[in-house]
Amino acid sequence: MALGDLMASRFSQSSAAVSNHLDECSSHDNGDFGAHRRDSETLSSSYGNVGTSATTSMAYLPQTVVLSELRHDAFESCMPSGPSDSGLVSRWRPKDRMKTGCVALVLCLNIGVDPPDVIKISPCARMECWIDPFSLSTKALETIGKTLTMQYERWQPRQARYKIQLDPTVEEVKKLCNSCRKYAKSERVLFHYNGHGVPKPTANGEIWLFNKSYTQYIPLPISDLDSWLKTPSIYVFDCSAAGMIVNSFIELQECNASSSTTSSRDCILLAACEAHETLPQSSEFPADVFTSCLTTPIKMALRWFCMRSLLRDSLDYALIDKIPGDQTKRRTLLGELNWIFTAVTDTIAWNVLPHGLFQRLFRQDLLVASLFRNFLLAERIMRSANCSPVSYPLLPPTHQHHMWDAWDMAAEICLSQLPLLVRDPNAEYQPIPFFTEQLTAFEVWLDHGSEHKKPPEQLPIVLQVLLSQCHRFRALVLLGRFLDMGPWAVDLALSVGIFPYVLKLLQTTNPELRQILVFIWTKILALDKSCQVDLVKDGGHTYFIRFLDSMEAYPEQRAMAAFVLAVIVDGHRRGQEACLEAGLVHVCLRHLQGSALNDAQTEPLFLQWLCLCLGKLWEDFMEAQIIAFQADAPSICMPLLSEPQPEVRASAVFALGTLLDVGFDSCRDGGVDEECDDDEKFKAEISVLKSLLYVVSDGSPLVRAEVAVALARFAFGHNKYLKSIAAAYWKPQSSSLSSFPSFAHVKATAANPSQYIGPLLRVGTDTPAVSRDIRVSTSSPLSASGIMHGSPLSDESSQHSYSGNLHDSHSTSNGVISNNHSRHRAPLDNALYSQCVLAMCTLAKDPSPRIANLGRRVLSIIGIEQVVAKPIKSSRPGEPNFVGLARSSSWFDMSGGHLPLTFRTPPVSPPRTTGFLTGMRRVCSLEFRPHVPSSPDSGLADPLLGAVGSSERSFLPQSTIYNWSCGRFSKPLLNVPDDIEEILARREEREKFALYHISECQHTSVRKLSNQPSWDTKFDTATKTALLHPFSPLVIAADENERIRVWNYEEANLLNSFDNHDFPDKGISKLCLVNELDDSLLLAASCDGNIRIWKDYTRTGKEKLVTAFSSIQGHRPGVRSVNAVVDWQQQSGYLYASGEISSIMVWDLEKEQHVNSISSSSDCSISALSASQVHGGQFAAGFVDGSVRLFDIRTPEMLVRTMRPHAPKVERVVEINFQPGLDQGKIVSACQAGDIQFLDIRNEKGAYVSIDAHRGSLTALAVHRHAPVIASGSAKHLIKVLSLEGEPLGSIRYYPTFMAQKIGSVSCLTFHPYRVLLAAGFADGCVSIYADGNSQAR
């Protein structure tokens, strides 16, 4: 459970950091909040008496933080990539695994005869292969040859053929080489040459052999040897001046490379010494010390260590040959020594060698890797004898690496207990603490290391430790911690060779390792998708399916198992088939079903990955889709569309969308068609489609993007019928209004949308009752998104108008090739097709640019295409310009601010303009013309629908939720983010600032507001709204073209300027700061109800769109614009929106979900909306008839009080706001007639103070959040500043900086939240800031 504990620890640390901070903030609270609220009436009546206790203070400082998840980082600006299977991640895989197939051993010893160029000392080194040739009476040479063969076989048993030549001639060596190459074929050949009985190699690169009679030494050029052995090959030269051969070989290689275009030969050389050196002759070494290091490293290393340690006098060297155990068994002393030696040499090589060279020499060929590990030992030992072994490719020096000290310590511990073990075979040896100590060192590095520091040198040792059961658990936990540090760590671990080890561990049944292995595989597959092939080949997928189905693990860990399985089946048909056979569909559906039945909150990440895993499993895989439909998968996934987490909803849409058949599944065959009944398939598709229509107006772009992708699949499969439906709506229509179906009222709070979507969209329209069911709702989101009453889309007869061409058997329609190679589809219900067209149009006008682009791509599939057109400009006020519109239809009201669309269909008579364009304002045209396939502007529809075969896939919009979700697992999961302390420190600093200034505002009486602006600037067009940043000297303002500008008013410079979107209409109605105490976001609410939230809005050209959605869905009959009013409440995380609709929409920005529609309880529209910034869930609304209503969503009836403070006047409420303080019953309301009412809902009379501030011309009102001051502005060039008792504190009439020119008509007013600063925007484009007299004096 260690990994689970680690993960639980991570989550607890993260939450503890925040909760501790909150505890500190409220640690001085001496009473409950309710008691304080009860006392707030008396406190709020006199600002001098308001306390600054922690409870009071914290009521003003909301703790809710929204829109700060991973999904908000860069949804619009970048496309997620997901796990890769090529490029950088593939470097860790050895390019081509290789083995040594044949070993040629050539011994030129000529025992008894010394070569002429060698003068031997006495006593002299005599042993060859640990045999003294003079101690044997006969066959000494043969015995040495057999022993050498056995020593080599120990490193590669039963995998290579060994051939030996003793004191051979040139012809014998040639024959040997040719036969070895013939046997090895393309495998490597090892050529070992011992030249202790012949002269040194020549400067020309020749080694010496014998003639037949052994009377002469015969030279053999290295070039001949190379031509016989060819490539790949490895040479070992154990003779004096062996470096001569290496030098000559390098020259030969360079010569061949310059004269030939062939690739360089794969040849490796190991030589005993430099060209000018002679082999050691000291009797303490064997004569073949180089060969002994390469073939018997443990024996050689221990003997050499003994000679240099304190044990040299007390230890009998003969005991070294009696070390108990087997070299291949790690639980024996000899096996453990060999294991430690391997770990030490691997670690030295990995830390010293370049990455590519390490892979080639230590991971490509087992025998080569063993020889090079032992070569590092040879370098260490022979350098002590003034001899320097040489290799090609050249290795950097390693003989002084500090890891040799760890080896010496292990050797000393071994040798110190060796005498006892030899005397008493039953004695147990004490394990060497080498691996325990190295794991501790690795753990220390994990505590302090990072990507920017030197990599942990113990990583190869961790790999070796995985072989041991006693150390495996700890090693896996530490390895998991390392992999969690990022993709760079995963790449390092894979490069060192971790992959085959963790793959093999999937065969273990130890339950203790399951969580850790799942975590490690999660990290590996988050980087490298190509491992899916290895997992399926070894049956590893069953391991993860069993883990997914177990109930013992944490939900987060089971989510990781689902992620691993999703990667296994992602685009991998063999993986899909294997997981389908193993029952993955039923396992996932069972757990999804269990989550719906279980009252406890299921981990969202687990639900998310169950859906993604299912979607990837049955994506374009007909067999899996059939099983899914048989298991009723759509009805199991549908309840997830109401989940509070956008990631879960988007994943559920992805799973449902991939069940839709696009019509060109390559795996479909006759057998499958017989199994799957078409009628059943269509019924299932209907249920899927209805569920998708339920979330087409979801608050999260993540969800809507998946809906668009799913509708694209549906549009492709049903292209012909959707085109016919759309074409039918284009015909001239009667004057009747609308029978077009709507899904606006599908929004409800039930968990399963299918429960109430079903009756709404019943199949068939043959009864009047059904026709009534599908009449358009005036509050439809489709109506709000631009479908005009009286438009061709709302033709009463349109339900049946396409019947003439719906069953057209021709494969082309208007030049667009239909999907004629898919199975014949029976058309679905006409109303359902109509719903789909409307949903596509809604997406094409989405406030998110990415979603709008996806929506337009979906429309292009059914023949509707985007053309470049500008909004229609009126030739004179009040009269639309009809020039060029004789052949246009106003199907879409594009005043919502989006690109127009062209609908291409078979030619019909153009619709009449009379009755459709009357009174139209800023309406973009939707051009209509016959479509010729060869025209240069054929657009997206032609290549998409005209393509055949597998290339069609590339034209469909691709889902992003899977790749985006994968990104979570490539980021650290176990550690608290590094910047959490910085975030908390910044918030604490801002809280202190806010509390100080709140107290100052409450205790300082505002005497007068200066009529001299401290700063001003000017827009090109009228200012619509403005905002003062609470913690920086910034003013943010927007004009009627939705151009947002950010100024620093202390330095008087423009920081940033950007367009809220490209096709504005009536401007921005509200600017708010979201998360103002943290990393604040800018919320811009357009008058059409579209919400866009920006981050980095102060950085020039760096602003990013965090999220966007339409907050108003549908509007009243006969109303052409929404006139949205919006307010944001940080305490609750709710956004309230209304306008020309009969309800108030409540959006939860944390969930990015519409959570409630509150009836406005009035036949009039709402003209002003204000949310309490102290009491979460409470807001007030002002209506066009002058009435005021207070709502509280925490109460069952929602509506708290209705008042008519402006009666008998029936004028629009311009602005409404809560008075400062904790009192939840005091409100300020101002109507267009000019009167300002101070209201107390507990007072039956309503208003307790009434002021007639601006007679018939009031346009703006602002109430300070904490100071007892309000400001009102009028169209008659005047701003008045008043106290809460109605006393005038000042007025503003002129622009002093503009030569005493009168101020313009006031369009907006706003106070600084924590200081007495007033920002005013005017109809002539000016923006000014005014300070109170105290501030100016200071």
Backbone angles phi, psi at 672, to 5 degrees: -65, -40
Quick one: pLDDT at residue 823? 43
Residue 307 pLDDT level (bands cut at 50, 70, 90) = confident
Q: Note the Cα 978 to chain centre separation in Å.
A: 18
Task: Give the rounded percent of residues in the chain with a pLDDT score beyond 70.
Answer: 76
Distance, CA of 459 to CA of 473 (rounded, Å): 15
Q: Which of 559-563, 627-631, 789-793, 1333-1337 has the lowest mean pLDDT?
A: 789-793
Contact yes or no for 783/794 (Cβ under 8 A): no
Is residue 961 scored above 90 in pLDDT?
Answer: yes
Closest of 1315, 1331, 1217, 1327 to residue 1270, by C-alpha: 1217
pLDDT reported for residue 575 = 96
3-state helix, strand, coil in the chain (%, to 5): 40, 20, 40
Q: Mean pLDDT score of the chain, rounded to an integer? A: 79
Given the structure tokens 């701003």, which residue do they identify?
1279
Residue 782 CB-density burial (10 A; 0-12 exposed, 13-18 middle, 19+ buried) = buried
pLDDT digits (tens, 9 = 90+) for 133-172: 988 878 899 999 999 999 999 887 677 899 999 999 999 9
In angstroms, the CA 1028 to CA 1330 distance is: 12
CB atoms within 10 A of CB 186: 11
Inter-helix orientation angle 622-630/678-694, to 10°: 80
How far CA 830 is from CA of 551, 656, 837, in Å, comes to 46, 22, 11
What is residue 676's predicted lDDT score, i.e. its pLDDT?
Answer: 47
Q: What is the pLDDT of residues 5-22, one digit of tens each?
A: 555 444 444 434 433 443
Residue 942 has pLDDT above 50, yes or no: no
**Per-residue pLDDT tens for 1070-1104?**
999 999 999 999 999 999 999 999 999 999 999 99
Q: Is the predicted pLDDT of residue 1319 greater than 70, yes or no?
A: yes
Report the 10 Å Cβ neighbour count for 667. 13
Backbone angles phi, psi at 1318, to 5 degrees: -120, 125
Euclidean distance between CA atoms 1114 and 35, whole angstroms = 43
pLDDT at 319: 85
- Give Cα 1229 to chain centroid, integer Å: 47
- Is a pLDDT exceeding 90 seen at residue 245? yes
* Segment 288-299 mean pLDDT: 95
Query: Residue 1102: how many CB atoms within 10 A of its CB?
Result: 11
301-319 mean pLDDT: 84
How many residues does the structure list for the chain?
1338
Torsion-angle region of 884 (φ positive above 0: left; ψ -120 to 50: alpha; else: beta): left
Mean of the pLDDT values across residues 442-470? 91
The answer, yes or no, to whether residue 870 has pLDDT greater than 80, is no
Burial of 276 (0-12, 13-18, 19+ CB in 10 A): exposed
Share of the chain above pLDDT 90, in %: 49
Residue 581's identity, in one-letter code, is E
What is the pLDDT confidence band of residue 1241, given thresholds at 50, 70 and 90? confident
Specify the pLDDT at position 1184: 92
Residue 768 burial by Cβ neighbours in a 10 Å radius (0-12, 13-18, 19+): exposed
Q: Which residues pair with 1252 in a beta bridge?
A: 1235
C-beta separation of 1033 from 1050 below 8 A: yes
- What residue spans of 353-468 are helical by DSSP H? 355-362, 366-383, 403-416, 418-423, 434-448, 459-465
**Span 99-137, pLDDT tens digits:** 899 999 999 999 988 888 878 888 888 899 999 998 887
Q: What is the pLDDT of residue 422?
A: 86
- Where is pLDDT greater, at 816 or 1242? 1242
Q: Inform me whether the pLDDT recorded for 1065 exceeds 60.
A: yes
Q: Determine phi and psi for 145, rounding to 5 degrees.
A: -60, -45
pLDDT tens figures, 640-654: 999 999 999 999 999
| Model confidence pLDDT, tens digit, residues 221-241 | 999 999 999 989 999 999 999
Q: Where are the alpha helices (DSSP H) in 1-93?
A: 2-25, 33-45, 54-59
List the one residue out of 1048, 1045, 1055, 1057 whose CA is nearest residue 1014.
Answer: 1048
- DSSP letter at 397 equals P
Distances (CA, A) of 127 to 114, 286, 289, 370, 788: 14, 5, 9, 23, 102
Residue located via tokens 């209805």 = 690
CA dist., res. 157 & res. 326, Å (int): 15
Top pLDDT among 518 and 1338 is at 518
Note the pTM of the prediction, 2 decimals: 0.82
- More confident position, 696 or 1004: 696
List pLDDT tens digits, range 697-738: 999 999 999 999 999 999 988 888 888 887 776 554 433 333
Listing DSSP states for 676-737 in one string gives: S-HHHHHHHHHHHHHHHHHTTT-S-HHHHHHHHHHHHHHHHHTHHHHHHHHHHTTS---S--
The per-residue pLDDT for 1030 is 94
Report yes or no: 1200 and 1153 within 8 Å, Cβ to Cβ.
no
> What residues pair up with 1023 in beta bridges, in sequence order?
1039
Separation CA 1223–CA 614 (nearest Å): 52
Out of 55-69, 529-543, 815-829, 892-906, least confident range: 892-906
How far is residue 1321's CA from residue 1329's CA, in Å, rounded to a whole number? 9
The residue among 83 and 545 whose pLDDT is bigger is 545
Q: What is the 3-state secondary structure (H, E, C) of 814-837?
A: CCEECCCCCCCCCCCCHHHHHHHH
Tens digit of each residue's pLDDT (9 = 90 or more) over 508-562? 888 899 999 999 999 999 998 889 999 999 999 999 999 999 888 889 999 999 9
Quote the pLDDT of residue 544: 96
Asked if the model's pLDDT at residue 946 lies above 60, the reply is no
Task: Give CA torsion, residues 908, 912, 918, 922, to 10 deg.
Answer: 30
Query: Which two structure tokens, joined as six digits, stand for 716?
Result: 């492709």
What is the model's pLDDT at position 1115?
Answer: 65
Determine the Cα–Cα distance for residues 93 and 1236; give it in Å rounded to an integer.
76
Give the span between the Cα atoms of 414 and 11, in whole angstroms: 45
Q: Characterize the bridge pairing of strands 1278-1283 and 1288-1292.
A: antiparallel
Cα 1102-957-1153 angle, rounded to 5 deg? 65
Residue 887 has pLDDT above 70, yes or no: no
Q: Could you give the residue ranges of the DSSP H alpha helices within 1083-1130? A: none
Neighbouring CB atoms inside 10 A of 903's CB total 24
> Quick one: tokens of 1113?
């869905």
pLDDT of residue 24 exceeding 80: no
Q: What is the mean pLDDT of residues 354-358?
A: 90
pLDDT at 798 over 90: no
Say what the pLDDT of residue 427 is: 83
The Cβ of residue 219 has, within 10 Å, a number of other Cβ atoms equal to 16
